């Protein structure tokens, strides 16, 4: 796998770079803007340490080095989105997309589509064959977004606890599409 830590969108007003634990204060500000997601998922707002925890919370068998968090920045260096993912999970051909968030003011304008597609281009250049993720049933907009991106439901989990809420989960997957290397930095 190439050791690339950023990728580009076709929109020159934004740039993407990998985030590291020292970027937690900037990421925390985005989390605070996106508390609607935490309330939907967990029933409570993001904790004051949620961004720090994002860098260390990994699935069983993975390490923090397998955790790739990418920040989407406006050209004025304001963080407006993030993708959190795990390489080679649950197998060596798959990347798991753990979370994607956009600041509320950025939603509904096609930026999420552009951000995800650029991420998938980057994954494809790394040799990734499959991308998987989970969506909760209560997040109807998110589920529709991922299906629009070509993801198919591969499995349903009837009940899982998140914070003070319990949700039905959908596991979704799609084959990564090879893209031109012009999207790499």
Q: Report whether 29 contacts 79 (CB < 8 A).
A: yes
pTM, entire model: 0.90
3-state secondary structure 102-130: ECHHHCCCCHHHHHHHHHHHHHHHCCCCE
The whole-number pLDDT of residue 4 equals 61
Sheet harboring 67-74: ordered strands across? Answer: 14-19, 67-74, 79-86, 94-102, 130-136, 165-175, 152-162
Q: What is the pLDDT of residues 28-49, one digit of tens each?
A: 999 999 999 999 999 999 999 9
The whole-number pLDDT of residue 179 equals 54
Q: What is the pLDDT of residues 72-127, one digit of tens each?
A: 999 999 999 999 999 999 999 999 999 999 999 999 999 999 999 999 999 998 88
Domain ranges of the chain: 14-183
- Domain 14-183 is in which class? alpha beta
Of 131, 85, 123, 120, the closest CA to residue 2 belongs to 123
Whether the predicted pLDDT of 181 surpasses 50: no
């Amino acid at each position: 796998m190439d050791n690339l830590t950023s990728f580009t969108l076709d929109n020159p007003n934004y740039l993407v770079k990998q985030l590291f634990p020292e970027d937690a204060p900037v990421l925390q500000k985005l989390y605070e803007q996106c508390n609607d997601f935490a309330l939907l998922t967990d029933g409570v707002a993001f904790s004051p340490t949620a961004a720090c925890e994002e860098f260390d919370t990994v699935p069983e068998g993975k390490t923090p080095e397998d955790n790739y968090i990418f920040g989407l920045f406006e050209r004025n260096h304001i963080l407006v989105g993030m993708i959190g993912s795990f390489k080679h999970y649950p197998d060596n051909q798959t990347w798991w997309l753990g979370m994607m968030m956009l600041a509320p003011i950025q939603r509904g304008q096609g930026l999420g589509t552009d951000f995800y597609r650029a991420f998938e281009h980057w994954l494809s250049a790394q040799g990734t064959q499959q991308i998987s993720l989970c969506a909760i049933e209560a997040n109807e907009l998110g589920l529709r977004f991922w299906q629009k991106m070509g993801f198919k439901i591969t499995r349903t989990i009837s009940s899982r606890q998140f914070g003070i809420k319990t949700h039905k989960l959908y596991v979704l997957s799609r084959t990564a599409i090879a893209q031109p290397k012009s999207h790499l930095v």
